[in-house]
Amino acid sequence: MLLRTKGKPINIKSALVGKVTRNPERLDENSFLLVEGSISELPSKNFIGILSRQDEYEVINSENIVFKIPTLEHLMEGDIVSVGIDGNINTLYRVNSFHNTLLATERCNSNCLMCSQPPKDKNDINNLYEINKKLIPLIPKDCIELGISGGEPTLMGDLFFDLLSQIKTELPDTEIHLLTNGRTFAWDYMAERLGEIDNKRLMLGIPVYSDYYQVHDYIVQAENAFYQTILGLHNLARYNQRLEVRIVLHKQSIPRLTRLAKYIYKNLPFVEHVAFMGLEYIGYTPHNIEKLWIDPYEYRDELGEAVEYLAGQGMHVSIYNTPLCILPENQWKFARKSISDWKNDYLPICSTCTKLNDCGGLFTWNLKKHSEHIKPIH
């Protein structure tokens, strides 16, 4: 699914954020007008600018214009985009999707073996914050769920709490799912400040990859990460934060999976959800594939034991990113359709499967590397 495009910019001096419309009557000060063909005259209304597919464009006054855009078909009425000074047009929010996420930063203090979005050491925090600050008030108030991801969002520092405070004010009824490695919450004041925001709709998804510190630290490639994460989880719990533990399944995490499940129940009984997640074949994973790959069919016994143990203790458990056909039928009740719509796909052989509509399928990039046991269920 296309989320980015680019054209030739005119008069754009800084990043612009606004909703898109093809109807001049719906324009306001927060809107871009999408133009597929020629336009005889500009609307008299105050609006942000024009996004056009025209090959040539006459500069009219000081209008913000991006022209020669290859396609605008991926943009729906009301979608929200950012337009950069270089003519890049990024879709920030899609009105017809339940899978919208704010990018906080591409910086990170871990360097996980299987990171799907490898960290970049660049000063992007202020720029991304300003874009998100403009975006949040434009998001429909009936937005059901919104994600926040990175990199590591807490590296924003004070801006991290400013962002969350703005979200609580502008979107009080929206469920917020924040992905963080949790390490900075080992410092009590970080957890305390989050507690002061007091957003009961905020849940933090934090990875714990092993019950043994050396295995976890090796997976995330950061010394003392395990102890920081566990302490961070406990600090967050003291301030009544909603917590989810995430476990990515691969060759390094599978051997101690049942022990990890027991560790979670004994030491982290306050977590609201535990998610066991299939491996994404993107980012660092292809480079570390020999250290990571194990066919999901081969670890289904270990996965089943861990899931059944936690469920048996009354904990809420899910299996993500895993096709139904490689799970025993008694595990189907834990499997979720978890992959975002813009990166969700199926193999050709899946087309005849009777469970296709119930199955979460694969990441688009996992079509290149997937279980050899995928087959239609009849």
pLDDT, position 41: 67
Mean pLDDT of 26-41: 86
If you compute the radius of gyration of the chain from its CA atoms, what whole number of angstroms results?
23
Sequence ranges of the domains in the chain: 4-90, 101-367
Q: How do residues 221-253 score in pLDDT, each as one tens digit?
A: 999 999 999 999 999 999 999 999 999 999 999
Structure tokens that stand for 175 in this block: 């469920």
pTM: 0.94
Mean pLDDT of 63-69: 91
Residue in the structure block whose two tokens are 């034991």: 305
pLDDT, position 193: 98
Q: Is the predicted pLDDT of residue 60 greater than 70, yes or no?
A: no
Mean pLDDT of 326-334: 96
Tell me the CATH architecture of domain 4-90. Answer: 3-Layer(bba) Sandwich (3.50)
CATH domain 101-367 topology: TIM Barrel (3.20.20)
Bridge partner list, 34: 51
Length of the chain: 378
Q: Is the predicted pLDDT of residue 62 greater than 70, yes or no?
A: no
Distance in angstroms (rounded) separating the CA atoms of residues 116 and 279: 9
Do domains 4-90 and 101-367 share one topology? The answer is no
- 175: exposed, middle or buried (C-beta count within 10 Å: 0-12, 13-18, 19+)? middle
Q: Is the predicted pLDDT of residue 122 greater than 70, yes or no?
A: yes
